[in-house]
Structure 1
Amino acid sequence: MTKPRDDHAQIKLARRAFWTGAAFYGLIAFEFFYMATPFAAWFYAVYGPGLDLLEGVGPANWTIRFFLPHVSEATSSPLIAVLEPLGAALFFGGLAAFAIGAVQIYRAKIKRLPAVTGGLYRHVRHPQYLALIVSGIGMTLLWPRFLVLIGTVVVIFVYVALARAEERLCLATYPGYAAYMERSGMFLPRGWLPASPLRPAGAAGFALAFAAALAGALGLAFLLRHHAVASLVVRSEPEALYLAVAPIDAAAHAEVAALVRTSPEARALFPEEGALIAYVLPQTMYVAEIPMDLPAGRQFGHSVPRDADPARWKVILARPELPAGAPLTGLAMLREAVNKTALLELHLDLSADAVTATLPPPAAPFYADHQVPLF
């Protein structure tokens, strides 16, 4: 049996690892919060260079890509459509459960009570860690970069190591803790799982379990990404992949592409080899991640305007930035692109069958040229 002093040292080491991992994960996840604030551009100016650095490293640039849609609100997949609201429920539900657990813990500390074994702790020994795990999974669905997913898996395993070290200390400190462990589970109520994969024996077993969990999570994320991209509402033409940011019917989608081809300014930009990305969205929808004109009094957002005119659309033509040897057309091009450069904005009136305005890209895009979600 390990001595209490050794357990204290292990807890200190585990907590140090936790805060290191949490700081890294928090820095990544914080991107989600400031992207939704008026200070997003300023924060991105500080944070973006790190993403740009990863973008320029071929073997690592996949880590900054998104495996679920963020820009596009249009998808043909019921699964993809439900993941974002599910992520919000997990994120906020986990934070609420963590707060309840914190009240129980600090109440016991203030009153100098023994180990907390009631309330949230009745059937689960570490409900606060569980709550943070649930909240972290929710964050990963809300801001689905591969980098966030990697950070989430790292932090989860640090929680496991910290929980195991704390339990050894509790066994040496509280006489009834062994009986409590017999009737409760570490992160889930006892009996919910036949055998927990999160209790490997020894450091080698723990490292193997971590590697297996990370590989499994990344494998699932790559499958989700493939499915998400295949479920986007697109129209593939020789000159461009017309990606619908908002829902659009097939006839209107085809008319949009036909109208773009009538524009001399657009035709001058069509590449001799490969294709452009053409973002299609209502004229009154403004998405910061797609460089576009923002009229005075308007705000960026991701919601499709309820009063959007079904006949009035805009198209943002952008050149994809692709690794050497990447496919130059279709969905494969979108999967491989690591960034984009806006070239032209066109306003279309389908009822008049006309291009009503042609605008250059903004001189100072909201996120400059930093890597932001492509779809």
Structure 2
Amino acid sequence: MNSAGNDYGLWGLAALNAIIFIGFAYSFFKPARLRDWRSFGAYSAFIVALFAEMYGFPLTIYLLSGWLGSRFPGVNLYGHEAGHLWWLMTGRHGNPHFGLLHMLSLVFIFGGFTLLSRAWHVLYHAQRRHGLATAGPYRHVRHPQYIGFVAIMFGFLLQWPTLLTLAMFPVLVAMYVRLAIAEEGESEKDFGQAWRDYAALTPRFIPRLSGAGAVGGR
């Protein structure tokens, strides 16, 4: 592997970015229950794994170095741009940060954080009055907070895929689905028919194109 221009080993930068993105999510999500901490912890593990490879040690590049070196013999695999694997493997040139996938990744990341923020605001006030969260994003889907986490992680996969985060992503999505189903069981027990009416009108994860809203939300 060509080691000229090694852009890795920046563990301080890796830690700083992890702290920033985990801190952003914490400020928006504010986990309180054990289930909240599980979902937040899974997201945090993904972020740590991502930035450890982005700035610390490029494990994915190292494991794929033989194949990448033979296919892209003129590329400095230790350079930061090579870590944008979608950009590299499609034979693009120039700055990957201006590529379509990178721009799309920013949309998913920003949208995920925005959804987390709005969902938490609604959920916080619903919990204070011991009622159902049916306003804001909860008018369209029953679990916008989990959708937010998945959107952020998907955005980072578009930007900087690694073998570890690619393997983690479907596992974390499945975990969020299980958490959502368990949460719904508790909500039905607590709110009874009000929850069943809400669930009948509001999809779990994918909004209806018709724009139908939830019951009782303000």
Q: TM-score, structure 1 length as denominator?
A: 0.36
Larger fraction in strand:
1
1:135 paired with 2:152, answer yes
Give the aligned partner of residue 49 of structure 2.
28
Conserved? CA contact 1:94–1:132, under 8 Å: yes
Residue by residue over 1:253-298, the C-alpha shift from the partner in whole angstroms, topping out at 9 and shown as x without a partner, is xxxxxxxxxxxxxxxxxxxxxxxxxxxxxxxxxxxxxxxxxxxxxx
Q: 1:31 to 1:142 in 2, by over 3 A?
A: farther
Displacement, 1:156?
A: 1.1
1:93 paired with 2:106, answer no
Displacement, 1:142?
A: 1.2
Give the aligned partner of residue 196 of structure 1.
none
Q: 1:18 to 1:118 in 2, by over 3 A?
A: closer
| RMSD of Structure 2 on Structure 1 (CA) | 3.4
Displacement, 1:17?
A: 5.8
Residue by residue over 1:35-62, the C-alpha shift from the partner in whole angstroms, topping out at 9 and shown as x without a partner, is 5xxxx5xxx2xxx3x939x849x9xxxx
Paired with 1:23 and 1:118, the residues of 2 have a C-alpha distance of: 27
Q: Which amino acid is 2:169 matched to? A: T
Residue by residue over 1:122-161, the C-alpha shift from the partner in whole angstroms, topping out at 9 and shown as x without a partner, is 1210011111111111111111123222222221111100
Conserved? CA contact 1:29–1:148, under 8 Å: yes
Aligned residues: 155
Displacement, 1:119?
A: 1.4
Conserved? CA contact 1:125–1:181, under 8 Å: yes
Paired with 1:103 and 1:180, the residues of 2 have a C-alpha distance of: 19
Q: 1:120 to 1:156 in 2, by over 3 A?
A: same
Displacement, 1:116?
A: 0.7
Conserved? CA contact 2:50–2:162, under 8 Å: no
The percentage of counterpart residues that share the same residue type is: 26
1:124 paired with 2:141, answer yes
SS in 1 for 2:86: coil
Q: 1:162 to 1:142 in 2, by over 3 A?
A: same
Paired with 2:107 and 2:88, the residues of 1 have a C-alpha distance of: 17
SS in 1 for 2:174: helix
Conserved? CA contact 1:94–1:134, under 8 Å: yes
Conserved? CA contact 1:124–1:186, under 8 Å: yes
Give the aligned partner of residue 169 of structure 1.
186
Say which of 44, 51, 55 aligns to 2:59: 51
SS in 1 for 2:87: coil
Larger fraction in helix:
2
Q: 1:22 to 1:116 in 2, by over 3 A?
A: same
SS in 2 for 1:74: coil
Conserved? CA contact 1:87–1:142, under 8 Å: yes
Paired with 1:138 and 1:96, the residues of 2 have a C-alpha distance of: 13
Structure 1 alignment gaps of length 5 or more:
1-10, 59-64, 193-375
SS in 2 for 1:124: coil
Paired with 2:185 and 2:49, the residues of 1 have a C-alpha distance of: 32
Q: TM-score, structure 2 length as denominator?
A: 0.59
Structure 2 alignment gaps of length 5 or more:
1-32, 67-82, 211-218
Conserved? CA contact 2:119–2:137, under 8 Å: yes
Displacement, 1:29?
A: 2.3
Larger radius of gyration: 1
